[in-house]
Amino acid sequence: MPRLVVPRSATSGNLAAASVEDQPADDYSSRLVKYIPAESVAFFACVDKLIASHFGIGNTASTTAATSSGAFALSLIVFLLGLVGTPLYLWRRRLPRQPWMLNAGIATIAFVLWAYTLGGSLFLLLGWYQVFLAGLFAPIFTFVAGFFEPAPPKAPQA
């Protein structure tokens, strides 16, 4: 199964182009799963929680004199690695002629929202984290994202 969403074929409407090995087009639930960048979110959750544990950043942390600039710098680096790494990873995993930009765009937005929802250290240190918003953003976006379907790839010109 390809990592990216398989679109409908421009000719048949049911099967994907030969470049994605005649895989059937993904339905809503398959798109929903593929649009969540599980690899990036897992990386972020693991490393960010190590940083939070090391620097003593709790769920209600705010920027204080006790919080070192090292905690902020590491939190920012980990977040930026996930932010930039998500579309790069999906670009590398695409199949020939497989549309990847919609996948990468949705997955990158999903990464930001899931990083926020998980209580990322960066958001805590900046004082931006609110439990109520975290509980809304990622689930609502994830539900809506599944409705986006990539356009069929253009047929190769003879």
Average pLDDT over residues 22-39: 88
Question: Does 92 score more than 80 pLDDT?
Answer: yes
What pLDDT, on the 0 to 100 scale, is given for residue 59?
A: 62
Question: Does 35 score more than 80 pLDDT?
Answer: yes
Residues 6+ apart with CB under 8 A from 142: 32, 35, 36, 110
The domain ranges of the chain are 45-145
As given in the structure block, the two tokens for residue 49 are 């929680």
How does pLDDT run across 40-72, given as a tens digit for each residue? 999 999 999 999 999 999 865 444 545 689 999
C-alpha 5: how far from its chain's center? 13
The whole-angstrom separation of Cα 142 and Cα 135 is 12
**Percent of the chain with pLDDT strictly greater than 70:** 82
Question: Does 22 score more than 80 pLDDT?
Answer: no
The whole-angstrom separation of Cα 148 and Cα 141 is 11
